[in-house]
Amino acid sequence: MNVPLLFLLACILHFNSKCSATILPSSCPYPPSQWCSTLDSAVQCGVLKHCLHANLTKWHHAGEPVQIEVYYETLCPDCIMFVTQVLYPTWVLLQDILSVHLVPFGNAQEAPSGSKYIFKCQHGEQECLGNIIQTCLLNMSDNAFLIIFCMEASTDVIAAAKSCVHLYSPELSWERLMSCVNGDLGNQLMHQNAVKTNTLDPPHQFVPWVTINGEHTDDLQKKAIKSLFPLICSKYKGIKPVICGEGGHRDLRI
């Protein structure tokens, strides 16, 4: 699979400020999740044909979406690479058949302290802050994945949080998010991530650690990192979307 090409394709299909060129009409005021929700939005965003087809596919060929869980931490270079160059472009293309669950915690450690928990992260306090910001986002925003991608794709992951939230979840105030981050809710949610990560079977050995439909094997992990797109296509039990190609194993080449 050609990862840079996949990334470019994702940029084209999904308006992203990081992409230097986009063919989306500038009159498209909707986030990608809403493009197909009405005829108007589909027309304005220039994706009517795609939406009509996607709607048809949904009605006639529905299967359970493939579940992917990603155990990661916000500042680990391999995690950043996976989220921005593999997971995100694959999700943009296959979001109808793919359900993404992110669990920020990774190799961090927790210890009880009174009624709360304190956390220690592999890449220091900044990473703990990034983990908890993303944990709160996952609880508070429908666009959490877009915001997390935006953060991870930025030079300074933590500093980018505020503008990424403004961009993708303008209705979520920074103050509300920070009250989660600094309060009991964030602490509890982070603890839930710790428990989820530490009860993985088999236990995680590194990050990013991937499960597909709840399962982790060396083979699945390797395929998820190297060729997630055909892996998701092949795991989907419904009629495969056209973009998967014959048998769902097509390489993306133009």
Ligand X SMILES: *[C@@H]1O[C@H](CO)[C@@H](O)[C@H](O)[C@H]1NC(C)=O
Per CB under 6 A, residues contacting ligand X are: 36, 38-39, 42, 51-52, 55, 139, 188-189
Contact 68, 99 (CB under 8 A): yes
What angle is formed at CA 80 by the lines to CA 30 and CA 229, rounded to 5 degrees?
A: 65
Nearer to ligand X, 16 or 135 (CB): 135
Cα separation, 108 vs 151, whole angstroms: 19
Nearer to ligand X, 40 or 78 (CB): 40
Contact 70, 210 (CB under 8 A): yes
Q: DSSP 3-state helix, strand, coil percentages of the chain (rounded to 5)? A: 50, 10, 35
DSSP 240: P
Nearer to ligand X, 7 or 110 (CB): 110
Nearer to ligand X, 53 or 249 (CB): 53
Contact 162, 145 (CB under 8 A): no
Nearer to ligand X, 23 or 56 (CB): 56
Q: Which two tokens stand for residue 22?
A: 């986009």
Nearest to 104 by CA among 38, 49, 60, 151: 151
